[in-house]
Chain A
């Protein structure tokens, strides 16, 4: 006689993890992260006389903010969602340059959602 092992089977856990509820929760969180990241992103104002970026201009106003997207994918460990920016100015805005103050919107977003404190 085989004794039945109590508890939840791994296959049942896997089934729930790959199910629609978890996917919906992941998307919900990703959209929150995306919204916050956009809210702390700088937007170029061509009418501002102090704005250095108009000489020369680097794309249209809001390009960086609008490039922040939620990517849905799947890899060897299963499905994932990723919030990312693809704008070419992302390193300049994040870390600053001679003419652009460091804004660090990505780090601000991480600090907000990394649960280190009540940021």
Chain B
């Protein structure tokens, strides 16, 4: 039986690299800001609000550090609720201090090297054409540098 679309799927334990989206999802999921499984990297067809969407949008890496730019979308039924959720998310994101260790569902641990807010949450319409507004969205953008697993020679 295939898993439900909103059930987070653990990355394989033998994955040689970290996915920064997984790190942010695992970090935010620990604070209970939204129901279990409502922090994810995708929006399912049958999404139930509130929802926090984590997407890596830019950034490369070198042999040691992954320099990710991550967009976090906070969805809720109206603008006030979405703003409140986005501030709660932002409050936790701001506490991603250097050397913070985040435990992934697989049990592996990832270490944050650097955090910076690129964009504090702002309102960006999800349905710009109108026509039945069902949810509001706030968008925050964060820079996260994460220590990559060691590779031979470095």
Contact = CB atoms under 8 A, between A and B. Distances in A.
Interface string A73-95: 00000000000000000011001
A38 to B, nearest CB: 16
Interface string B46-63: 000000000101111110
Nearest to A111: B58
B90 to A, nearest CB: 16
Interface stretch (B9-17, B18-26, B99-107, B139-147): B139-147
B65 A92 contact: no
A107 B118 contact: yes
Interface residues of B, number: 22
A107 B118 CA distance: 9
Interface of B is mostly: strand
Contacts of A110: 58, 69, 118
Contact of A104 (B57, B128, B143): B57
Interface residues of A, number: 16
A32 interface: no
Interface string B67-85: 1010101000000000000
Interface of A: 91-92, 95-98, 102, 104, 107-108, 110-111, 116-119
Interface of B: 55, 57-62, 65, 67, 69, 71, 73, 118, 124-128, 139, 141, 143, 145
